[in-house]
Amino acid sequence: MRIGIAADHGGFELKEQLTAALKADGHEVVDFGDCRLDTNDDYPDFVVPLARAVAHGDVDRGVAICGSGVGACVVANKVPGVRACLIHETFS
C-alpha cells in the first residue's frame, strides 16, 4: 500500500517512527514533511498537500500528525473528497 504521511513539529518524532514501521511492514511511504524538526513550522503546510494526494488517488491512505491531531484533522477535512478522523487509540 502507498501511504502518505505528514507532520509538523508537534508530531515529527512520531512521524519518523511510523515511517520506519510502515516501511518495515512493506508499505511504500510518501513523506509530505516536515523533513526536519522545525519549531516554527505549521501543520497546514504539510497536511493540505497530503490530503490533496489522498483525494487525487496519488496515495492509498494518509496519516497526518500534529500536537493534538485536531488541527490536522480539521485541515484535511477541508479538502474536497477527504474524510479525516481523529484516532488516538486502538478503538477509535
Peptide bond into 60 cis (omega under 30): no
Query: What distance in Å separates the CA atoms of residue 80 and residue 45, rounded to the nearest whole number?
Result: 17
Candidates 35, 66, 73, 85; catalytic one:
66
**Does the active-site annotation cover 85?**
no
- Return the active site residues: 66
